[in-house]
Structure 1
């Protein structure tokens, strides 16, 4: 067989997709390949993994899978959307490999396949190199999911087929194609309006369902008649507007307005990709240039939010050179900035932001300057550039919350206190703007207002999820994850970070992928899962670059340094943590880890210089002040001075809201006291540290505190049973899940719904300090 192992056919019409797929698959079958097929169906909400079930049904009898993979596949084919997608993908590949025969997988109309099936197909497609298996996927160019778009494949874009059908057959074919997104009853009603007999339609529909219909393009007048008939019977206003537009031979504002309303309804329903298509069509139907550009801007924003960056960039490139309206310019600039940030691209320079802001007035100018502040913060630009944007913000009168948020992001250390007083009040003012809330979380974190940061990120996550903005939701999740880890919620933080990583990979948000991967690995280190952390870092090693946005590499190096610290590889820890300094905020948060590594590998002087440089940024933060004072205590050669620094560190940390770092401070203080023969004082500090660390499942440091307590002469009781924190029902659910039962199987045993089981596990995981079902067996058996 001469074709590539993965072929993606991108065609506008169903006929072209069917014909091309048939040609390629036919060539494969002639070469001795067996065809396995599945198809996406428009206008339906298929259960999770429905397409995968159709595809694999002919080969399921083979069996022979490892237990974990078999159970995951059974759960998936039973419609369990929560089935471990990695295990399902591995199971599918193993099943294909076990057949020992040449197979061609044909996935038609992937734009309508359920998402779990598509994810598994893409997972398998990347791992076909050593198998006699090929994949053919067909998709509409405008509906191509990001996972399929990023797949390495041979891409075929066939030309439209010839109009060789008889006139009645051509009209039938055009109607079948144009009405694919409408209920069959409505399409048949339109057929009656067009004079098509029910018998003719039924015959064509049968061929269509079998995937063998040949659809011709037809002349323009015939196509317009078909679209007009469909527009008259469509119950969905958005679909009706689209067909009215297609039926028109020219541009009219009424049609464009109908399409724009359809796009806004799609936004309300969380269908960002559909909204992008509606807005783009509205732009094409707009007779006035200003309306066309405004609608292109709406389409670009929806495409970016849906995780379609290439389409969004194309729309921005079309609209930006022609935009003259102040609001449209600000919207275009915002979307361009967000695309650059999520992709890790350099973006505009500060001078370009200033020049653009000069063209605008009022809140539109503030929005561009806010974007410049986000740009400064993300790239940690030099202070003099930040001051230029700060001066322009202060010189522009506005009541927009974006102004206060931008000023807080640019605030120097000595101005943090005044912003911290103002930021909590901005939550209500920014409540309707999820992007404002997202940036408010960043600003609040930068001035160490952790409570406001948590609120803003959680609210923005919920809003982005509600409107289907995946590209933005992963940003909120990664910020929330880092904050939860800092606040001691390790399992919840890990779950958020893993979800952010999955979404970022799906939508191609490279920059967020690096940050989320580093956060996942750091949570895994805290939870004592060193091998998992190492695997996470190795899998995403390509993202360890410092330019143009440093936070991604800083997060990953912090995690790598923390892992080395727990494994007593102190020289490696010092090397990795020293390189976190490229990102000033993360360098400050990791300063105590750096100092601990430095003490063990003899880098006292270098560490002392870094600590004192960091101290200038901690004047208004109890958390950072605690880390600095703890570092000074470790570096101090004088006992009286060291004890004073420890005491100040503990005092600063009491109300900082970061209990795990406070517990580590107590641990280090207790060790210092024990080594100075002050066992009773040491036991007080170590006992409290051990309790906090054990409750949070911070295993490496809890074990260290236990060892120090024993060395101080304390008899340490075994840890309490992990089940003690669970209700009887929760304990039973956790035990059954640990045995490998699916949600559906547990629900049947306990006579409840699978959704109830899922909700119970959502509550159980944080109580046990885990984030996956696979970890339940270890935790419960340890208890």
Structure 2
């Protein structure tokens, strides 16, 4: 292909680069600038706006400009009626580039071949596929810069959208640009990918009038006024309404998009049958097949554009929608049968088209759909898998198959997609029937004993309880392990471990890891940590959001969440875009709790608010409760006792009747921290003891690993030194230091708190000098405070001031006011003068705002800051807009001086 040539399956470049677009000069300038940047150093840019606002026209102008600049252009588009077919969008976009596959390493070429249905093989993971697509694009741009132009990205199938989102972040340093169009108000993972955006607004009155005059110079003034009022600044409406509305002022007020669809539908009624049949095939598949156009009438009606070289395209996506809406069932059925014949026997596309063509139950098609659903789930598209399973159930010819497939969909819906619906009991008591019911009870905060009993009883009736390859059996054990964990009391875990031990030849690796590191970490985790670390190292390779979330869950109580953060963030984005909602909420709970320990308390509040809204919307009371705990912990640490108590009281109110011991422990933990902040050390000790019990870290209560340092501090400060010493002895004998660096620090810190006067100095120094102690700033600062207090009382005044200053600085940064006040009192007692107010820097900016401000002061753009912090450029801009008034400035140029002033502000 020659440089500058355009390739397209659906939307070829036909506009000339100098064609006139009214009122779009700033947008066109940015697009031309982007094309130059991408040709030199790669990149991705989204053009966002409502239907008909001109995104497609802008993309066409940009593509034409790229061609004239010597850039090769490949175009594609999301297809509204093919969004259930995994990788359909990727197949459409990359087909013109498959001649480059031989240049790729065999592993990458095979991954792409499978994804594009060019060969059979194991499903590629998401990371491998994203890397393979990136490699293909780099190979295709080796001699000529390449621009991918993808319209209607909101209609891409989820698998393609996620892969392209990953690819867009990998284009830096290449000669490849990704330019996408996305309709606002439509959920898409691409919108949450962090790409820079150009938002296209409606035309102002003058520009709309100019556009109408250019297109229809002979309109009467009265008609012109009515048309402009009806179009409301939407460019497509300005151009299309005059073609068919003799008196638009008489039309009933309706949204512009719906009005235009109806307008196009009326034009379709004037076409020959052959033309309408061909338009329907193209609308349902996203492709106009090669051959004689026979679409002259459609072109004259302004529905398509026909080019003798580059082919045919719809004039606008609304035309495609109108074509399908104007057809009847018999016409769509024949079209789907014709499209199914184009695909191989076992392909998902063939199964989907055959299902759409089915007029009644069809077991062959149902089986094809079930097989396609499993492949779709494995490729990381659980939402698509649920849809295919439900369609498979609907086409089943027997009640047994219908029930089995419905239960599979129900379980996947509860476990992954957020489709949380109560599942009716059945007489059979099979695992397929019981597991969704038990999962529903757990997720909605229902009775834990009922869920546990249902699972144990169902497992006792399984014909072969040793079959590790039985998916129903292994899923039942996942849920049973969760029931044991959330019940968090003796006796619940034994049936889980007994059933796990029976599996042959071996349980699934992730199930084994969860059973040890999550259900009973103190007793079982240590021998499996190396295997867990291996799973975490490869977590980004897994395309299944549910598996990623489960690896994160296995990591949480052995303090390895940091290694999962990036993958968990991707799961959150997947769920926000309409994907794996359950997994996304689970990921949010993990990230929120990680942020509590890591000292990102402003981040906790943001994650908790977002996650609780999502959990409430889908009925996930249990997961919402964990986010509520994270929120309560921050409130307790900052001395907002009213908020903390309100949050924990609510947790107790609904968790106690359901015997959800874990949630009660969360509430007790937050209350204990609040009591410590208030100085009510007796109450703090008793609340912490509710989780730790007299054994300090009981096997059935993993959360005690997060509470025992608070327990020991409360015991010491309440005069219970003997009890504190006993707790520390138990910790040492349990050897929890093997599990993580955080636990090693916590045990060393607890040992320092109980150390005798002759030994405390070395004990505190040992704890504070452990590697990465600063990763847990709140606990580190509390240890420094305790050390400073003992140093002052032992007359080591100068040394105490050093510890107390360090503690105060951390407390101020966190906004932990009760502890700031305590550290301030200790410093004053040491003879040091301390200002009465908190640090100016703390009051001025949140930690995230400060980080953004520092990067902006270094000269980084919003896009570059977003890439570093995993934020969208729009979010970065919002933070800058909010922080400028706090600093008393109006521009980025003043940031450096303002931040320097903050650093010199007096501390509390």
Residue 342 of structure 1 pairs with residue 443 of structure 2? yes
Partner SS for 2:655: coil
Q: Is the 8 A contact 1:465 1:473 kept in 2?
A: yes
Give the structure with higher Rg (CA): 2
Specify whether residues 251 and 471 from structure 1 end up closer, same or farther in structure 2 by C-alpha distance, changes over 3 A only: same
**Aligned-partner Cα distance in 2 for 1:259–1:389:** 33
Specify whether residues 727 and 244 from structure 1 end up closer, same or farther in structure 2 by C-alpha distance, changes over 3 A only: closer
State the match for 2:486 in structure 1: 378
Q: 2:801 aligns with which of 683, 699, 714?
A: 683
Q: 2:735 aligns with which of 620, 645, 648?
A: 620
**Aligned-partner Cα distance in 2 for 1:727–1:762:** 14
Q: 1:651 aligns with which of 750, 766, 769?
A: 766
State the match for 1:674 in structure 2: 792
Q: Is the 8 A contact 2:849 2:883 kept in 1?
A: no
Partner SS for 1:351: helix
State the match for 2:394 in structure 1: 284
Deviation at 1:281, TM superposition (A): 1.1
TM-score (norm 1): 0.58
Specify whether residues 395 and 249 from structure 1 end up closer, same or farther in structure 2 by C-alpha distance, changes over 3 A only: closer
Aligned-residue Cα RMSD (Å) equals: 6.2
Specify whether residues 666 and 643 from structure 1 end up closer, same or farther in structure 2 by C-alpha distance, changes over 3 A only: farther
Q: Is the 8 A contact 1:342 1:509 kept in 2?
A: yes
Deviation at 1:471, TM superposition (A): 0.5
Deviation at 1:664, TM superposition (A): 1.0
* Greater RCO structure (CA 8 Å; 6+ sep): 2
Q: 1:247 aligns with which of 357, 363, 368?
A: 357
Q: Is the 8 A contact 1:366 1:398 kept in 2?
A: no
State the match for 2:366 in structure 1: 256
Q: Is the 8 A contact 1:666 1:686 kept in 2?
A: yes
State the match for 1:326 in structure 2: none
**Aligned-partner Cα distance in 2 for 1:591–1:373:** 24
Deviation at 1:764, TM superposition (A): 12
**Aligned-partner Cα distance in 2 for 1:386–1:587:** 16
Q: Is the 8 A contact 2:625 2:663 kept in 1?
A: yes
Residue 521 of structure 1 pairs with residue 521 of structure 2? no
Partner SS for 2:457: helix
Partner SS for 1:677: coil
**Aligned-partner Cα distance in 1 for 2:443–2:199:** 31
Mapping of 1:262-661 within 5 angstroms?
263=373, 267=377, 272-287=382-397, 295-304=405-414, 307-311=417-421, 313-314=422-423, 321=428, 329=431, 337-345=438-446, 346=448, 347-349=451-453, 351-352=456-457, 354-355=459-460, 359-363=464-468, 364=470, 368-382=476-490, 384-399=491-506, 400-401=508-509, 402-411=511-520, 413=522, 416-420=525-529, 423-427=532-536, 432=542, 435=546, 438-446=549-557, 449-451=558-560, 453-456=561-564, 459=567, 462=570, 468-526=579-637, 528=638, 530=640, 534=644, 537=647, 545-546=655-656, 547-568=658-679, 577=688, 584-594=701-711, 604=719, 612=726, 616=730, 619-622=734-737, 623=742, 641=756, 644=759, 648=763, 651=766, 654-655=770-771, 658-661=776-779
Partner SS for 1:359: coil
Q: How many residues are matched? A: 603
644-653 vs 298-307, greater mean Cα deviation:
644-653
Partner SS for 1:450: coil
**CA deviation map 1:499-544 (0-9, x unaligned):** 4334323432111111112213323554x48389559838966876
Mapping of 1:205-224 within 5 angstroms?
224=333
Partner SS for 1:667: helix
Residue 713 of structure 1 pairs with residue 817 of structure 2? no
**Aligned-partner Cα distance in 2 for 1:48–1:283:** 33
**Aligned-partner Cα distance in 1 for 2:500–2:383:** 34
Deviation at 1:298, TM superposition (A): 4.5
Specify whether residues 42 and 454 from structure 1 end up closer, same or farther in structure 2 by C-alpha distance, changes over 3 A only: same
Deviation at 1:667, TM superposition (A): 0.8
**Aligned-partner Cα distance in 2 for 1:395–1:184:** 50
Q: Is the 8 A contact 2:678 2:818 kept in 1?
A: no
**Aligned-partner Cα distance in 1 for 2:849–2:549:** 36
**Aligned-partner Cα distance in 2 for 1:537–1:565:** 17
Q: Is the 8 A contact 2:351 2:369 kept in 1?
A: yes
**CA deviation map 1:630-669 (0-9, x unaligned):** 66876x7xxx736646754663563576453133112112
Mapping of 1:131-142 within 5 angstroms?
none
Q: Return the structure number with greater helix share.
A: 1
Deviation at 1:380, TM superposition (A): 0.9
**CA deviation map 1:181-225 (0-9, x unaligned):** 8479879x9x999xx9999998xx99x99x99999998x868755
Q: Where in structure 2 are there 5+ consecutive unaligned residues? A: 1-49, 53-78, 82-151, 155-180, 187-197, 203-254, 256-268, 304-314, 694-699, 888-898, 904-908
TM-score (norm 2): 0.51
State the match for 1:664 in structure 2: 782
Deviation at 1:574, TM superposition (A): 6.1
